[in-house]
Structure formats: C-alpha cells, structure tokens
C-alpha cells in the first residue's frame, strides 16, 4: 500500500504491449524499478493502495520512490466512501481497469525480503472500508491472478495467493517455514488488504471451477415507460461469459452481468434469466420475472356449461394484470356474496342456479369485466340415437316430473301440467294439443303419444293407423296409461284395464278376469299388467322380429313379489321387491340378460333391444344392443329418479331437489277417502291427517314408495269428520 499523492493522468505508451492483454502498459519513465534476477515467481501477493488508482500509478512510477508493483487494479470509477475518501477525478478509468508497470520477467519492489519470490498486485481502496472492493475489481483481479498462476505454475490456493498481511497468519508462517525456509515470513509489517477483502469469493473466481451463482436475478414490477435492470453475481474461474434470455429466447447483445430493458412496455413482461459460463462449465440462473404494472385483462373468458342437477360446477376465469387482482362474481347481474376468487363454484347445482354469470376484476390500475357464461341446469339426460333429435331436449323441458321415450320421439311432463315434445314428428306424435295444460302422466308409443289429464281422461295424438289415438268413448277415471308400438292401454281407478289400437297379435285382448291392477306396460305388440298383489299378467305377441317364438308374453313360473315392470319391443322386464331384475323374451342382443349381481333396482325401462335399470342410489345400469350408443351412459349421470327407453335412445330424469308432490282427484265416499299422488322413483310418501288445522300432530295412515307414476292413496277410516290431509315426501 502506498500513500495517495493526488490526481495524475495515466501515461500510455504505444511502444510496447502488456504481458497480460487486458492491462495497459505504463512503466516508469527514465528509471528501472525492479530486479532483473530472482528466485522465480512462486506467489501472488494482494495489496491495497490506501489511495486512488490514477494517483497510485503516478506515485509508483516516480523514479524517486523506492517502490514498484507489477499490476494495479481500479476499484471504483471516480469513487468515494462515507469515511471522507473522495477521488474527485471525472476522467477516472472504469472499475476493474488494470495497469501494468513492471514486466513479469523481473522482480518488483513491493514486499521487502519477499520481492524475489512473489508477484504483487495493488488494488484501489482502503483497509478501513469495503466500499472500494467492487465486484468489477474482484473479477478483473481474479482473471489476472489466474493468468499469473497458469503462466508460471503457481498453485491456486491460499498458501500461494496471499495478502500483504499474510505474515499475521500463524498457520501460513508455519507452512512457509516447512516449504520455503529461505524466506523470512515476518519481514513485512503491512496489514492490507485488510478484514474487508472477501477471500472466499475472490478465490472462487480463481480456482478452476465452473460458475456458481451467489445472487440470482430478482423479480420486479415497473410502470410502463420505466427501465428494468436484472443483474447476477457469479463466481468461478475467470473469465466468465454471460448470455441473457427472455422467456427462453436469447437476447442479442445481452452479454454482461447485468441487463437493462429500457422504456418497458407490457409486451416486455416475462421471465428473464442468464447463462453464466467459463471453460469449466455453465450455470443457468433462476428466472427474474418482470411484471409491468397494468390494469386487469381477461386471458380466458368464463365458459357456458350444461350440467345435471346435483353436479358440482366450477366457472373459472383467466386474468392478467398487476397483482393483487380482486374478483367479484355476479349472477344475473346481482352480486354474489363471498364470490371473490378467480373461479366460482357450486357444490351441488340446482335449477335455481341456472342463469348468467360474469366477473369483474379490479386492481390499483383499473378494472376488466368478463363476458357472460350461461349455466344451464338440465334435469334430463339423453343418449344414443339422435337422428331425429330425439335426445336434444328443448329449452322448455324444465321443472320436470316425468319422461317417456317413444320409438324416435320423446316427451317430458312439467310440474305445471305442460308437456314438452321433441324428436320425430312424421305422424304428429310431437305435436302436443294446444289446450293440453293439465297433464299428470304421459306415455309414448311407436308413433303416437298419450297424456293422462287431471280429470282422469286421456288425450292422444300422432299416428292413428290402428285407432291407437282414438280414445274409447266414455273413458274416464283413469289413473295410469301405457303406449305400445301401435296400441294403447289405460288403468282405471277400480283396477280394470282398457285397451285399444292394433290387435293383430292380441295385444289389446285384455284377459276378462283381470282385476286389481296397480300399473301397466305396453311393448311392441304385447302388454303387461302388474297386480296389487305383486303378480304379473301378460298378453299379446310371443314372437321376435323374425317370427320365432321368444315368449315375451309368457310370465315365468312362480314369478311374484313384483314391484315395477317394463315392456320392450320383444322382451319384458320386472323388478322384484328384493331389488333384483327378471327378464325374458328376445335375448338376441342380450337385452334379457341383466348384468350379473345387479341389485338395488327400483325401476326398469325397455327399448327395442336394450334395457335400463334405475338403482336406489340414483345410478343407472344399461345392457343389450348398443349400436347407437343407447347403453353408453353419460359420465356424470347420477341421482336419477326415472329412466325411459326408446327404439335406439335412452332418457333419464335427474332429481333437482325441487319436486313437490301434487295431489289430484280427492274423493270421500262412505267413510273412505282417496286421492291420487304424483310420485318419483326413489322417493317415499306418507299420507297423514290431523283433526283440526290448529292441531300440531299428524297421524300417518300409509307409507308407499314412489314409482314415477300416479299412486292411489286411501284412508279407509275417514268416518270421523273433519280430517285434514297432507302427503309427506322423503328420500
């Protein structure tokens, strides 16, 4: 270290080049300040100047000064510190600038008795502060020391690369005594470069190692028009090379340890990283993310969805802009309390959730409003053949209580008594009579449709080739209906059955002794009647499409305890009270072979050659013909309460939780009260009464399971007057 003597401009000589190419060659003029012989160079000594770069060059090149050094390295360009050191040199060289004053072949005068053994490098600065020991200085000096070590075979370790104050290190003195006994390790008394010299970092820049990043590029947020600078601090063998990238793409010319993006615009946002390399390897930094402060903007609009009742729903939005982003969802224009996330979720969709959803997004710089997403809660699932749009339900098919699938058309009954119809209309089977608004039950045949009205009469429309749509005169008191391919059935409240339409195969020849019927089913050309005692009666066709006997009207021996029935084109299905299914008739496509282990069934439906079963848990099972996908159940189908099978398509009604049972045709005669109840499968119903409106307790008369059609409930002991009745529904 040398005292500062003020400012002096560096003299450059063009007559010779430095031994180390990055340096300037500036020797003393008019004198030689070195020894021409010595013991070989075995060490590199690190000094600090206790002064400034330019003035130290002048001082050491002064022929009257008995001191010299090989190299000098600048720490700060026109630097200063908080201890009162101020360089005051606007023409100062950049940090990391190197000057050579003594040729490497000679021996400079810088470390007393060590001179003939050691190289020396002076560094701008003071032992009292780390302010002058810049990264540029460390990098430049490390490259110089590597050059000296590699050129002269000096080991790159702390025994050979030492401070001017290394004499204070007892371990080093011992090592010197053992390895260089000819050198007196205590002939120096200087204390530079001092406690603030970062030896671990400095040595990491010298030793033959691949780069290591110690300070990663830092993420930052700026306003449009500002500059953004990313920097990295790395160590490793010098020289280090840098290459910056943006969003994975190389940035041309960005080859320094820092990269500045000027006049930043939103398009400049993204991930900035740098690859640091040297001859021993490379390392890639982590990303420094540049965020350009902007108002919110939508990257992915909310999407409309159609779901079944009970399904979970999530409506997300994608947005960008400066964080934090604040979200507020709205439903049909009204604020949704607590809906302040980037997605709005409904755990279990209900019909009341149908409507339009959008979200407003705000931050400190502005706002954005999404487009509308429409959520449709569709209680009706359809799958299979759609060649006549028979599974494409119309918008008015909402708030449904019953469904029915014909050959190529479909009907749905709304809670308000209105019928929705769609699909094939070749024979007017989808043309619901204009005045029909009081239906309580529906049925679809091959090409015609039936509806049971509140007053117990039947309406029919569509094909009438065989009189299947010509209601028998005087037909009333009906509580259930069924439609086959070309014939129709009606069940009266007294348990009798009326049939009309095609009778070519005896399908309308109701057995004369038939009575006590609870429900009906009509197939292609055969009919089924379930009696109240759980037995089954069948009549009509017993052959398949080819005329071979298959016995769809032959009830299996011993069949009893039946609770639900269905008739297909050429096969028959029943559900027993233990939840199992019995099937018979045509089995050419396995339509009469229920899946093994099928239990828990509450209702069945039969198409031309496929079968459906509704289970007590609301799931649906399908088997048989599947050429049109009529057995490919929708993945999300659950919580169904009704199923129906057409020729090649299938329908399922999903419970939306809003069904309220309706009562029809109450009758009180001779101490007996009866009423018709509209029911759903998988629901249970209790007829209850109390003796006055003010009474708090209800008395249960009967409990029944819903079956998707009308149930006749009775109170056989209604002689005490008055009684007030209600029906209670539960799952």
- What does the pLDDT look like over 641-656, one tens digit per residue? 999 999 999 999 998 7
Sequence-separated (6 or more) residues with CB below 8 Å from residue 33: 60, 61, 63, 65, 66, 67, 68, 101, 102, 108, 109
**Residues, the chain:** 731
Q: How far apart are CA 533 and CA 544, in angstroms?
A: 30
Query: How confident is the model over 701-719, as a mean pLDDT?
Result: 85
Q: What pLDDT, on the 0 to 100 scale, is given for residue 659? A: 77
Over 50: is that where the pLDDT of 170 sits? yes
504 and 428 assigned to the same domain: yes
Determine if the pTM surpasses 0.85.
Answer: no
Asked if omega into 193 is within 30° of 0 (cis), the reply is yes
> Residue 218 has what pLDDT?
97
pLDDT (tens digit, 9 = 90+) per residue, 485-524? 999 999 999 999 999 999 999 999 999 999 999 999 999 9
Residue 603 lies in a domain: yes
Do 283 and 366 lie in one domain? The reply is no
* 315 and 448 fall within a common domain: no
At residue 560, the pLDDT reads 97
- Residue 532 above 90 pLDDT? yes
**Structure confidence at residue 259 as a pLDDT band (50, 70, 90):** very high
- pLDDT at position 708: 80
Q: What's the pLDDT at 4?
A: 35
Q: Is residue 16 in a domain?
A: no
Assess whether pLDDT exceeds 90 at residue 133: yes
Mean pLDDT of 475-494: 97
Handedness of CA 45, 50, 55, 58 (dihedral sign): negative
Q: How many CA atoms within 13 Å lie on the side-chain side of 710?
A: 34
Q: Which of 334, 358, 377 is the last residue of a domain?
A: 377
* 471 and 588 both lie in a single domain: yes
Is 348 or 707 the better-scoring residue by pLDDT?
348
- Please check the confidence at residue 58 and state whether its pLDDT lies above 80: yes
Query: Is residue 1's pLDDT more than 70?
Result: no
Q: Pairing state of beta strands 288-292 and 220-222?
A: parallel
What is the C-alpha separation between 711 and 678, in angstroms, rounded? 7
Would the CA dihedral through 9, 12, 18, 22 be positive or negative? positive
Whether 4 maps to a domain, the answer reads no
How buried is residue 692: exposed, middle or buried, by Cβ count under 10 Å (0-12/13-18/19+)? exposed
**Domain identity same for 219 and 194:** no
Host domain of residue 703: 663-730
583 and 605 together in one domain: yes
Domain of residue 263, CATH code: 2.60.40.10
Residue 2 pLDDT grade (very low, low, confident, very high; cuts 50, 70, 90): very low
The predicted pLDDT at position 79 comes to: 96
**Are 169 and 259 in the same domain?**
no
Rounded Cα gap, residues 262 and 4, in angstroms: 39
- Same domain for 537 and 420? yes
Say if 5 falls within a structural domain.
no
Residue 15, in any domain of the structure: no
For 68, 77, 174, the CA distances from 183, given in Å and listed in that order, are: 20, 37, 12
- Give pLDDT, residue 10: 39
Q: Which of 594, 625, 654 is the last residue of a domain?
A: 654
Report how many domains make up the chain: 5
Indicate if 104 and 123 belong to the same structural domain.
Answer: yes
| pLDDT tier, 76 (very low <50, low <70, confident <90, very high otherwise) | very high
| CATH (domain of 632) | 2.130.10.30
Q: Does the pLDDT value for residue 479 go beyond 90? A: yes
Please indicate, yes or no, if residue 646 is contained in any of the structural domains: yes
Share of the chain above pLDDT 70, in %: 98
Complete DSSP assignment for 149-203: HHHHT--SSTTTEEETTGGG-HHHHHHHHHH-TTS-TTS----TT-TTS-HHHHH
Using pLDDT thresholds of 50, 70 and 90, give the confidence band for residue 420: very high
User: Does 81 have pLDDT greater than 70?
Assistant: yes
- Same domain? For 487 and 620 the reply is yes
The answer, yes or no, to whether residue 307 has pLDDT greater than 50, is yes
Sort strands 43-48 and 161-163 into parallel, antiparallel or unpaired: parallel
φ/ψ (deg, to 5) at 705: -95, 135
Domain annotation covers residue 583: yes
Label residue 189 by pLDDT band (50, 70, 90): very high
pLDDT tens for residues 577-607? 999 999 999 999 999 999 999 999 999 999 9
Beta strands (DSSP E) in 97-174 are: 98-100, 107-108, 118-123, 161-163
pLDDT band at 705 (very low <50, low <70, confident <90, very high): confident
Task: Read off the tokens for 31.
Answer: 């004198």
Asked if residue 331 lies in contact with residue 356, where contact means CB atoms within 8 angstroms, the answer is yes
pLDDT at 8: 34
- Identify the CATH number of the domain in which residue 191 sits: 3.40.80.10
Q: Are residues 650 and 667 in the same domain?
A: no
Is the pLDDT at 664 greater than 60? The verdict is yes
Domain termination site, one of 634, 654, 674: 654
**pLDDT tens-digit series, residues 314-360:** 999 999 988 899 999 999 999 999 999 999 999 989 888 999 999 99
Question: Residue 223 burial (CB < 10 Å; 0-12/13-18/19+)?
Answer: exposed
**Between 308 and 360, where is the model more confident?**
360
Do 89 and 190 lie in a common domain?
Answer: yes
Bridge partners (DSSP) of residue 231 are 258
Cβ-Cβ contacts under 8 Å for 443 (sequence gap 6 or more) = 404, 411, 449, 450, 451, 481, 482, 483, 488, 522
The answer to whether residues 385 and 647 touch, using CB atoms and an 8 Å cutoff, is yes
Residue 624 resides in a domain: yes
């Amino acid at each position: 270290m040398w005292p500062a003597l003020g400012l002096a401009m560096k003299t450059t000589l063009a007559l010779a080049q430095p031994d180390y190419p990055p340096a300037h060659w500036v020797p003393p003029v008019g004198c030689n300040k070195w020894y021409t012989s010595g013991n070989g160079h075995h060490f590199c000594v690190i000094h600090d100047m206790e002064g400034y770069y330019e003035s130290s060059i002048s001082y050491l090149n002064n022929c009257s000064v008995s001191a010299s050094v090989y190299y000098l390295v600048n720490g700060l360009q026109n630097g200063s510190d908080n201890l009162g050191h101020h360089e005051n040199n606007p023409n100062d060289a950049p940090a990391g600038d190197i000057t050579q004053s003594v040729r490497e072949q000679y021996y400079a005068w810088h470390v007393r008795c060590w001179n003939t053994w050691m190289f020396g490098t002076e560094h701008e600065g003071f032992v009292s502060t780390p302010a002058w020991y810049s990264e540029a200085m460390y990098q430049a000096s490390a490259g110089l020391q590597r050059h000296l070590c590699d050129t002269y075979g000096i080991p790159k370790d702390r025994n050979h690369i030492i401070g001017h104050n290394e004499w204070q290190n007892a371990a080093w003195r011992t090592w010197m005594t053992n390895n260089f006994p000819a050198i007196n390790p205590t002939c120096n008394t200087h204390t530079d470069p001092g406690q603030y010299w970062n030896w671990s970092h400095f040595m990491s820049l010298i030793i033959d190692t691949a780069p290591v990043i110690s300070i990663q590029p830092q993420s930052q947020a700026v306003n449009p028009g500002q500059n953004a600078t990313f920097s990295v601090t790395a160590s490793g063998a010098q020289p280090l090379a840098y290459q910056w990238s943006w969003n994975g793409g190389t940035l041309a010319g960005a080859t320094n340890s820092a990269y500045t993006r000027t006049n930043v615009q939103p398009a400049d946002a993204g991930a900035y990283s740098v690859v640091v390399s040297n001859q021993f390897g490379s390392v890639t930094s982590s990303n420094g993310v540049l965020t350009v402060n902007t108002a919110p903007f939508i990257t992915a609009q909310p999407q409309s969805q159609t779901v079944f009742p009970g399904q979970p729903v999530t409506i997300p939005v994608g947005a960008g802009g400066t964080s934090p982003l604040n979200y507020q969802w709205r439903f049909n224009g009204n604020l949704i309390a607590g809906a302040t996330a980037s997605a709005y979720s409904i755990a279990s969709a209900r019909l009341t959730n149908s409507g339009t959803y959008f979200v407003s997004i705000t931050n400190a710089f502005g706002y954005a409003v999404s487009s509308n997403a429409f959520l449709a809660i569709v209680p009706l699932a359809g799958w299979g053949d759609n060649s006549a749009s028979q599974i494409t339900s119309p918008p008015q098919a909402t708030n449904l209580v019953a469904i029915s699938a014909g050959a190529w058309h479909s009907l749905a009954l709304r809670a308000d008594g209105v019928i929705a119809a769609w699909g094939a209309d070749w024979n007017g089977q989808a043309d619901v009579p204009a005045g029909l608004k009081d239906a309580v039950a529906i049925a679809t045949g091959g090409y015609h449709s039936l509806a049971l009205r509140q007053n117990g009469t039947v309406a029919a429309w569509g094909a009438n080739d065989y009189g299947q749509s010509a209601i028998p005169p005087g037909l009333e008191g009906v509580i259930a209906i069924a439609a086959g391919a070309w014939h129709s059935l009606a069940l009266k409240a007294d348990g009798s059955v009326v049939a009309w339409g095609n009778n070519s195969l005896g399908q309308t020849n109701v057995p004369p002794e038939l009575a006590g019927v609870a429900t009906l089913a009509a197939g292609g050309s055969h009919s089924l009647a379930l009696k109240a005692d759980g037995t089954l009666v069948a009549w009509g066709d017993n052959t398949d499409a080819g005329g071979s006997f298959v016995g769809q009207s032959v009830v299996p021996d011993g069949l009893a305890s039946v609770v639900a029935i269905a008739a297909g084109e050429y096969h028959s299905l029943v559900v027993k009270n233990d939840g199992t299914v019995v099937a018979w008739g045509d089995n050419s496509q396995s339509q009469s072979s229920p899946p093994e282990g099928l239990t828990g069934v509450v209702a069945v439906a039969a198409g031309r050659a496929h079968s459906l079963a509704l289970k007590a848990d609301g799931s649906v099972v399908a088997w048989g013909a599947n050429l049109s996908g009529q057995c490919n159940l929708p993945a999300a189908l659950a919580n169904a309460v009704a199923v129906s099978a057409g020729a090649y398509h299938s329908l399922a009604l999903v419970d939306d939780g809003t069904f309220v049972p309706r009562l029809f045709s109450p009758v009180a005669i001779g101490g007996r009260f009866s009423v018709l109840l509209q029911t759903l499968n998988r629901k249970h119903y209790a007829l209850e009464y109390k003796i006055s409106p003010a009474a708090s307790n209800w008395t249960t008369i009967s409990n029944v399971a819903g079956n998707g059609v009308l149930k006749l409930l009775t109170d056989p002991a209604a002689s005490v007057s008055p009684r007030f009745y209600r029906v209670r529904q539960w799952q």
